[in-house]
Every structure is written in C-alpha cells, then in structure tokens.
Amino acid sequence: MDLKGKIAIITGGSRGIGLALAKELAKEGMELILVAKEESGLKEAVGKLSGNGHVYFACDLAEIEEVKKLASRIKEKFDRIDVLVNGAGIGVYKPIEEVSYEDWKNSFSIGVDAPYFLTQELLPLLGKSELSLVINIGSGMGVIPAAGRSVYCSMKFALRGMTLSLAEEFKRTKPHFVLLTLGSVLTGFGPLSLAQKKEEALKGKAYLTPQWVSEKIIEIIKDGGKQTEYTFYPSDYKDEWEAVK
C-alpha cells in the first residue's frame, strides 16, 4: 500500500519508538501529527522530519479533559485520519509498598484511558479512511507477569485486553485494531537508562531497536494490519522472564 498523502497521529511522538516511527513514516510521504506533553520536544521532533505538513499538539495525556481538547483540535484541522498510533507510555517499576495512588492513576490514565478515549473521539475521522488503523503499543509485560512491576504489568494487561476486545467489536467495520506486543527496546524508557541498556547490550543482552520496530510497524500498516496482535521479542526475552518466576 502506498502511504503517500496518508495522515497518521503518533502519541509519544517526540522521542523513542514514536520519533523513530515518525521519521520513517515521513519518508514514506505521510503527514504526521505528533502528540506529547512537552511542546519543546515536539517542536524539535517535527524539525527532524522530512517533507511538509507535519504538525504537533502538546497534551498532558494523564488528564482526560486535555485528551478531549486534543481530539477537538484535531477534528477542527483534519477531516480524515488514516492511522492512530497510541505510543505514549509511562513506566512505574516499584514494589507494592512504594506505589502511590498517583503512580497508579497516571499509569492507567496515560496507558489505558488516553488510548481508549482518544480513539472514541476520533472514530468519525477514522471512519472516513480506507486504511483506518489503530495501533496500540503494548508490551511483553502485558502477557508475562513480573515481580516488582505490578503497576506496569496491570496497565499493559489492561491495554492488551482493551485492544483485543475492540478488535472483536469492530471486526466487520472500521477501524481495524492492532496490538503490538514488544519485548525490551533500546530506548531510555524503563528502569534502565539508554546508556545502561547499551552497556547491557555489549555484555550480550538482546534488545529490539527503535529503527527495527519502526520498520515492522510500517510493514503492518502497508499490509493493512491483517493480524490483531503482532508479537516481537528479543531472542532471550521470554526465557529471561520465565527464569525469574
């Protein structure tokens, strides 16, 4: 499928997987709408994209009213959305004794509420697209339970259930829902910094790269997202987590 002229929204689009994907989609000729919390990061990100017509919206996705305002602004400016990538995330990695209500609330607000209600608000625009694809970025932690990650796992399990349920709900209509379940990615997201992950990689730990993940997402988009769930783990990811159970 030719992606030139198609319109995509990427939440979490100012860094990590979101930015890497934006760069690759821009090369394909897509028009990008980047969303993140900080305007400065978004402005810098858009400046790195090839092509023209890209825009950004700063939005605190932890606040539902901000999510609804974001949707209204998008609907005012665009009459169609072809792809929505819900990639914004938050990682809380603490034992239960250290978890605050804010940790829990923000995790679910950003990781579950925002994708759900942004999708709901944008259904009319997605319905006008022949492609009409919603991609939610999940995690292996939404499949494999892990100690010390109850907040993060709960959020990703919820996102997985939500996406798979919506895929059933919209099986015979638009949009098509896709869950991308990923293992560890070489970004600064998570309990380790990017520098620490690079050190671990030198010791032999396997990671997916943002570039590789972006290429896979583009393949999925061009294919029309025929599957509901795509799972990509580094070579030793599942064995590593199974070993610590």
Q: Which residues have a catalytic role annotated? A: 152
Measured distance CA(166)–CA(38) in Å, rounded: 30
Is residue 214 within 8 A of residue 8, CB to CB? The reply is no
Measured distance CA(185)–CA(208) in Å, rounded: 5
Per DSSP bridges, beta strands 133-139 and 176-182 are parallel
Who contacts 9 (Cβ-Cβ below 8 Å, separation ≥6)? 32, 33, 35, 74, 81, 83, 84, 85, 122
Q: Can you say whether residue 51 is alpha, beta or left, with left for phi > 0 and alpha for psi between -120 and 50 degrees? A: left
How is residue 164 written in tokens? 């798979």
Q: Return the exposure string of 29-56: e unless at least 16 CB atoms fall within 10 Å of the residue's CB, then b.
A: ebbbbbbbbeeebbeebbeebeeeebbb
Dihedral sign, CA of 152, 182, 111, 143?
negative
**Closest to 164 (Cα-Cα) out of 156, 5, 208, 41:** 156
For the CA atoms of 51, 89, 183, 140, the dihedral, rounded to the nearest 10 degrees, stands at: -140
Is residue 110 within 8 A of residue 159, CB to CB? The reply is no
